[in-house]
Structure 1
Amino acid sequence: MKKLTTLITTALLSSTLSISAQAEDRMAIVVSTLNNPFFVTMKEGAEQKAQDLGYELLVLDSQNDASKELSNVEDLTIRGVKAILINPTDSDAVSNAIRIANRADIPVITLDRGASRGDVVSHIASDNAQGSKMAAEYIIGKVGERAKVIQLEGIAGTSAARERGEGFMDAIEGTDVELLASQPADFDRTKGLNVMENLLAAHPDVEAVFAQNDEMAFGALRAVQASGKDVTIVGFDGTKDGIAAVERGQLAATIAQQPGMIGELGVETADKVLKGESVDSYIPVPLKVISQETIAE
């Protein structure tokens, strides 16, 4: 009887350990910064999907520092993660981190921003160029074909800033839109305020601003409000705060990404890769214009 009890206990313990091992399968998401509502929402989407699929998800913040990003990935290679989702701080600099993961045979999926080099299983993002074209078209429709416009650019070296800038410039090329200035504000609200204050002083006749993310749009908004000018401001990302500002009539529009969906799809894609299923090298996430007009519809 004692022997039978021991066998049953051993079997139960073995079963428990097996279930525990499965439950402890973990993946990680390395976010460029958690000091930005867009990336917080992306993280939350990933966390919820990981919970639904039974994974432990480690979350690491690179604080917009490529060296911190590199050390984050180095740390993950010794922590037993099965896959790494990464939202790069810089599309070129992240290549070193990705190569470290490659050498450790850990599959990498990039979110929102791509990587210039390294072996990436899949890239999940909105069509940034198309989104900024939508922003340009909205501004022309709202302000007119001879609109005098300022563009606030994101962090130089990121694929998002490059693609959004290219899309916007392509859209206004051949039109009568006058681009008064295009200057980086690093996707940051405070920098957006400071840059916009200087640009308003240099270009008091500005009629519209395209900010490559909602955070810079809020910075531009504060500068415009302080100046007392009437300027149409269009952001990008469709954050909760951005959409709320459109509803209040403070921003004219925001090009809405779905950061939560980007995070969810990242985990879903990693799960498929770990199960040996094939995945697309690029998975697009739909965009839409959120404006005072579309909200009223």
Structure 2
Amino acid sequence: MKKRLATVMGVLLSASLLMGGCAGGGQDTQAGGAPAADAGKKIKVGLAMNTLNNPFFVAVKEGAEAEAKEQGFDLVVTDAQNNPGQQLSDVENLLQQKLDVLVIDPADSDAIAEAVKKANDANVPVFTIDRNSNGGEVVTHIGFDAIKSGNIAGDFLAKALNGKGKVVEIQGIMGTNVARDRSKGFNEAMAKHPDMKVIAQQAADFDRGKAMSVMENILQAQPEIDAVYAANDEMALGALAAIEAAGRLDKITLIGCDAVDPAIEAIKSGKMEATIAEPPFFLGREAMKTAGKIVKKETVEKSVILDSTLVTKDNVNEIKTR
């Protein structure tokens, strides 16, 4: 009886080991113990946009979508509508979706720090584009040299006006490093030319409608204006509408920044003198390329600065925005 029982137990043990071996053999593993199935899993990337009510950021999203499609990523995009509180909520929701990487274009450089820290706590790699975060740990930041862009704008106006004139500066959202740095760079350039006077300086929050209203008020208050620098093309286009309505188009030199399509068309038609090319579509593409590198554990620079180029009637047909 004992002999028979031992025989039965031996058969059961052998079957158990065989089944265990089959189970293990059917699930190949990679370095780190991750199942091979994970290698075929679609990379999921969250993109928390500050707003999609602006052609620049719409183009960023379109560039990201184009690159994500090429790389086979699952891309989830949110729109904070320029509300820092909403963007924090967007990030919290994205972090519930088992992201591989989180990309943030901050609505506010200070306020977004809390969202970055939440990603840090969740062990989700996070990086910023266009605007920095003033807190938390980011893998990298991809953007443009905003101080350089401001310098370019100031130098252009100084050259266009032969070093003498009355200038208006329309600023962006001053809670962002981009707005602050573009203004800083512009005023650095102005300081090199004592006869260039900034006679009005007001924020319009990167918004076309606000810039139009701001410019209307400045036009009424200032009978002499030689040039206007708007810190983005949306505001430049708003200012353009006000200047044109006031019948002062031929008296005012206008420069914006970003090289969005409507601004390029305005330069071609002679209504706007210049912009600074910081093509948003390519920024979106670069963000997704970087997300892919992070997932693959490839080396990523701590800061990636893309080129800024002055665009005028002389080179407008050579600028590629897509």
TM-score (norm 1): 0.92
2:108 corresponds to: 90
Q: Distance in 2 between matches of 1:284 and 1:296?
A: 24
Conserved 8 A contact 1:151-1:210: yes
Instruction: List per-residue Cα deviations over 1:85-125 (Å, max 9, x = no partner).
Output: 11000000000111111100111111100111110111000
Match of 1:106 among 119, 124, 127: 124
> What residue in structure 2 maps to residue 287 of structure 1?
308
Q: In structure 2, which of residues 178, 182, 188 is the aligned counterpart of residue 164 of structure 1?
A: 182
Mapping of residues 64-75 of structure 1, within 5 Å: 64-75=82-93
Q: In the alignment, what sits opposite 1:216?
A: 235
Task: Say if 2:183 is the partner of 1:187.
Answer: no
Structure 1 residue matching 2:143: 3-state secondary structure: strand
How far is 1:295 from its partner? Answer: 3.2
Aligned to 1:151: 169
The match for 2:284 is 263
Structure 2 residue corresponding to 1:178, chosen from 197, 203, 223: 197
What TM-score do you get using the length of structure 2 for normalisation?
Answer: 0.85
**Structure 1 equivalent of residue 258 of structure 2:** 237
- Indicate how the Cα distance of structure 1 residues 95 and 30 shifts in structure 2: closer, same or farther if over 3 A, else same: same
Runs of at least 5 residues in structure 1 that lack an aligned partner in the other structure:
1-6, 12-16
SS in 2 for 1:293: coil
Alignment correspondent of 2:270 = 249
Q: Structure 1: how far apart are the matches of 2:48 and 2:161?
A: 40
Q: Is the 8 A contact 1:66 1:89 kept in 2?
A: yes
Residue 23 of structure 1 and its aligned partner are, at CA, apart by: 4.5
Q: Is the 8 A contact 2:233 2:263 kept in 1?
A: yes
The separation in 1 between residues aligned to 2:225 and 2:176, in whole angstroms, is: 27
Deviations for 1:128-154, whole angstroms, at most 9, x for unmatched residues? Answer: 111111111111111221121000000
Larger radius of gyration: 2
Q: 1:158 to 1:249 in 2, by over 3 A?
A: same
Q: 2:70 aligns with which of 52, 58, 71?
A: 52
Structure 2 residue 230 is the aligned partner of structure 1 residue 207: no
Contact map agreement 2:212 2:241 (CA 8 A) in 1:
yes
Indicate conservation of the 8 Å contact 1:27/1:57, yes or no.
Answer: yes
- Once the 2 structures are TM-superposed, how far is the Cα of residue 19 of structure 1 from its aligned partner? 6.5
Question: Which one of 54, 61, 66 corresponds to residue 79 of structure 2?
Answer: 61
User: Distance in 2 between the 1:23 and 1:36 partners?
Assistant: 33
1:203 Cα deviation from its structure 2 partner: 1.2
Which residue is 2:43 aligned to?
25
2: CA distance, partners of 1:61 / 1:218 = 23
Change (3 A) 1:278 1:20: closer
**In the aligned structure 1, how far is the partner of 2:110 from the partner of 2:317?**
42
Stretch moving more, 143-152 or 188-197: 143-152
| 1: CA distance, partners of 2:40 / 2:257 | 39
CA distance in 1, matches of 2:314, 2:70: 36
For 2:222, the aligned partner's letter is: H
- State which of 137, 143, 166 in structure 2 corresponds to 1:125: 143
Which whole-Å CA distance do the structure 1 matches of 2:57 and 2:39 have between them?
A: 30
Contact 2:254 2:274 in 1 (8 A): yes
State the percentage of identical aligned residues. 39
| 1:250 CA drift (Å) | 1.0
Supply the AA of the counterpart residue of 1:278.
T
CA RMSD of aligned residues (A): 1.8
Q: How many residues align?
A: 284
Q: Report if aligned partners of 2:264, 2:316 keep a CA contact under 8 Å in 1.
A: no
